[in-house]
A and B are shown apart, each in its own frame.
Chain A
């Protein structure tokens, strides 16, 4: 029993490490776009990855990347108030919700319906938020983009 558990733990740690090593950079980029602050992005990603680790044995064929990304998005949405006044990054002028929708739709390439379902919003609202965010990002002067 004890032996079986250690075996399982070792396998889980190995698989998780391989997954996080491969997907971590992309997820960190997503977290950085959302928070606009490297320290906050790392914290958010660490929490989302820890949750993914804790669920690893019960994923049952679910893609761990999608799991971690959903967890990241939901954690960001829940603590969005903390990120309201964070001027860093190219999305600094957007509200947390606009940032979230823009990043999930355009950066992660998730369909409108799936984004709406994941965030618990109507599809029309997601479409409107995305359109507003796109307009706001493009209206920035190019010099300030970098």
Chain B
């Protein structure tokens, strides 16, 4: 065992000397907070899906009304060179 290992062991013992007790409400508080994080995430996800559905609906309505795939008739008359 090198002297550095011995020093590390000594420090390790110093670190482990005192052990605090877990306060009674901490676990429940953490769980409640975790539940809130999950709820918030679920709400955000739901909102995202709703927004996506609305966007798809709006696009469909627009496409049905405008029919962008139908070629519009030519608006400019052919040039006629009058010579």
Contact = CB atoms under 8 A, between A and B. Distances in A.
B26 A46 contact: yes
Interface of A: 9, 13, 16-17, 20-21, 24-25, 28-29, 32-33, 38, 41-42, 45-47, 49-54, 56, 90-91, 102-103, 106-107, 131, 133-135, 137-138, 145-146
A91 B16 CA distance: 12
A29 B18 CA distance: 8
Given A50-B33, A106-B8, A133-B11, 4 more contacts: A20-B30, A28-B22, A53-B31, A107-B12
Main secondary structure of the interface of B (DSSP, over half): helix
Contact of B31 (A13, A32, A38, A134): A13
Main secondary structure of the interface of A (DSSP, over half): helix
Interface of B: 4, 7-8, 10-12, 14-23, 26-27, 29-31, 33-35, 37-38, 41
Nearest to B30: A49
A106 B12 contact: yes
A139 to B, nearest CB: 11
Best-buried of B30, B35, B37, B41 by chain A (most CB within 10 Å):
B30
Contacts of B7: 134-135, 138
19 contacts: A17-B31, A21-B22, A25-B19, A28-B26, A33-B15, A42-B26, A46-B26, A49-B30, A50-B31, A50-B34, A50-B37, A51-B37, A53-B34, A134-B4, A134-B8, A135-B7, A138-B11, A145-B14, A146-B17
